[in-house]
Amino acid sequence: MKFRYRVCAILLICVLSFSNNLVAAPSGSPDLFHDLKEYTRYLESSTGLYNELTEIFTQTSAIDDLSQAVLMETIGEENALLKKRQMSIVIEGKFKTAKTKLDTLYRPDFKTERFRPQVKEFNEYLKKYTQTIRQSLEDTYNLFDASLTRDLSVVNQFDLRSRRTIVRALEGENQLLKLRMGQLEQNNPSYHLFKSIVHSNQSLIYLIKARISEMEKPEVTGVSNYVPENGTSFVKIANIELSSSKRAVEKGTDTLKNWAQANKNKFSISEGFKNIFQSLILSFDNSFHVELKINNAFQTLLSEYPSDQSFDQVNGQIDTLIDKRMSLQSDRIQLVAEISNLGKAMSSSEQ
């Protein structure tokens, strides 16, 4: 069993809403195009920081693997200490850089109120996420130190802490996604994309809780008067959440088609806007396909419970899919920048 049921690369916030802002863009005012450009610069800055923090989160798994190797006696203590020290230096350097970027995050100069709430919410989220990353690092270091003692009760204690930190991180992401959903109509494809991610996160949360319940059994903890919750019950709830995520993907795919049909004329004022519109539709269609593949990967893990024989293979698949999710998000940020540039050029030519 892995120390952490670490599919932490699943953490990715879709900060760009496919919202009425984009519908209004082709016929928008110069102030809107100005704010779109400012928002794009903010997105590039903030999502870059988010990705760096998430990379730190996932890199700590190498130290977790080292802890496991110490317990399995496949590496000597002196060699393990040296490797842990080397990895920690790199990780701490990246964390220090990320904190500096958080303090100097781009502050957009908006002329309207349209994007201010999203920026405020994501700034607050980044601060909390940075704190979660710090806690995860401490959990990892403590777990490594515990492995050197060979005291399995101490190892179990810090392993439990690390898993609970992952749960808190996923719950924090879901809180932000739900805020974004509250700002969107249900005829908006982003609403269903966010909903699918919320439910897949919830599925992962319950799977982690199932593993936690295994570790809280009396024969593991040595505490005879504590009865943990049943892991199988958590897996049943995880399956329900996963089914909800799949339904959100299906609904989102249908909503995207309807949205495209209803708004294509609004983007027909020039070839440039037409091309952006088609690229946006394709991007979101690809995103729904990626979320469905993530759901299928999770389904494999749930169907094998309590075994985790496919964990390494499935984890690799999910990492690849998360990279694709991030790439699609980056592409959409660039499309927003193109909308801003085309709109500003059009406004200037009309003056």
Query: Is the residue at 208 inside a domain?
Result: yes
Domain count, the chain: 2
Query: Mean pLDDT, to the nearest integer, of 239-246?
Result: 98
Query: Is the residue at 22 inside a domain?
Result: no
- How many other CB atoms are found less than 10 A from the CB of residue 282? 12
Residue with token string 């989220």: 125
Query: Is the residue at 16 inside a domain?
Result: no
% the chain with pLDDT above 70: 86
Q: Judge whether 166 and 207 are in contact, CB under 8 Å.
A: no
Same domain, 50 and 76: yes
Q: Which of 29-33, 111-115, 267-271, 311-315 has the lowest mean pLDDT?
A: 29-33
To the nearest 10°, report the CA torsion of 333, 54, 96, 105.
20
Q: How far apart are CA 295 and CA 347, in angstroms?
A: 44
Comparison of pLDDT for 269 and 4, the residue scoring more: 269
Same domain, 198 and 115: no
Same domain, 127 and 198: no
> Which two three-digit tokens encode residue 325?
């999710």
Same domain, 158 and 259: no
- Domain end residue (candidates: 162, 183, 204): 183
Q: How confident is the model at residue 323 (pLDDT cuts 50, 70, 90)?
A: confident
- pLDDT higher than threshold 60 for residue 221: no
Q: How far apart are CA 13 and CA 140, in angstroms?
A: 24
Same domain, 130 and 97: yes
> Which two three-digit tokens encode residue 14?
């879709």
Query: Is the residue at 52 inside a domain?
Result: yes
- pLDDT higher than threshold 50 for residue 226: no
- What's the alpha-carbon Rg for the chain, to the nearest Å? 22
- How many other CB atoms are found less than 10 A from the CB of residue 72? 9
The pLDDT tens digits of the residues spanning 88-131 come to: 999 999 999 999 999 999 999 999 998 899 899 999 999 999 99
Same domain, 89 and 179: yes
Q: How far apart are CA 15 and CA 332, in angstroms?
A: 10
Closest of 55, 46, 139 to residue 93, by C-alpha: 55
Q: Judge whether 36 and 340 are in contact, CB under 8 Å.
A: yes
Same domain, 134 and 262: no
Cis bond before residue 306 (omega within 30° of 0): yes
**How high is the pLDDT of residue 216?**
80
Q: Could you give the residue ranges of the DSSP H alpha helices within 104-151?
A: 116-149
- Domain end residue (candidates: 127, 152, 183): 183
Q: Which domain holds residue 283?
A: 189-351
Same domain, 168 and 277: no
Q: 298 burial class (0-12, 13-18, 19+ CB within 10 angstroms)?
A: buried
Comparison of pLDDT for 221 and 177, the residue scoring more: 177
Same domain, 195 and 164: no
pTM listed for this prediction: 0.84
- pLDDT higher than threshold 50 for residue 74: yes
Same domain, 243 and 116: no
Query: Mean pLDDT, to the nearest integer, of 296-305?
Result: 94
Query: Is the residue at 17 inside a domain?
Result: no
- Domain end residue (candidates: 142, 164, 183): 183
Q: How far apart are CA 74 and CA 71, in angstroms?
A: 8
**How high is the pLDDT of residue 340?**
78
How high is the mean pLDDT of the chain? 86
The pLDDT tens digits of the residues spanning 20-68 come to: 445 445 555 778 888 888 988 998 899 889 989 988 988 898 999 999 9
Comparison of pLDDT for 32 and 186, the residue scoring more: 186
Same domain, 158 and 243: no
Q: How far apart are CA 287 and CA 17, in angstroms?
A: 13
- pLDDT higher than threshold 80 for residue 75: yes
Same domain, 193 and 131: no
Residue 246 CB partners (closer than 8 Å, separation 6+): 196, 292, 295
- pLDDT higher than threshold 60 for residue 228: no
Query: Is the residue at 1 inside a domain?
Result: no
**How high is the pLDDT of residue 103?**
94
Query: Is the residue at 4 inside a domain?
Result: no
- pLDDT higher than threshold 80 for residue 278: yes
Query: Is the residue at 13 inside a domain?
Result: no
- How many other CB atoms are found less than 10 A from the CB of residue 144? 24
Q: How far apart are CA 164 and CA 110, in angstroms?
A: 38
Here the CATH number for the domain that contains residue 147 is: 1.20.120.570
Query: Mean pLDDT, to the nearest integer, of 314-318?
Result: 88
Q: How far apart are CA 55 and CA 159, in angstroms?
A: 20
The pLDDT tens digits of the residues spanning 161-178 come to: 989 998 998 998 899 889
> Which two three-digit tokens encode residue 150?
């060979």
Q: How confident is the model at residue 351 (pLDDT cuts 50, 70, 90)?
A: low
**How high is the pLDDT of residue 6?**
38
Comparison of pLDDT for 347 and 249, the residue scoring more: 249
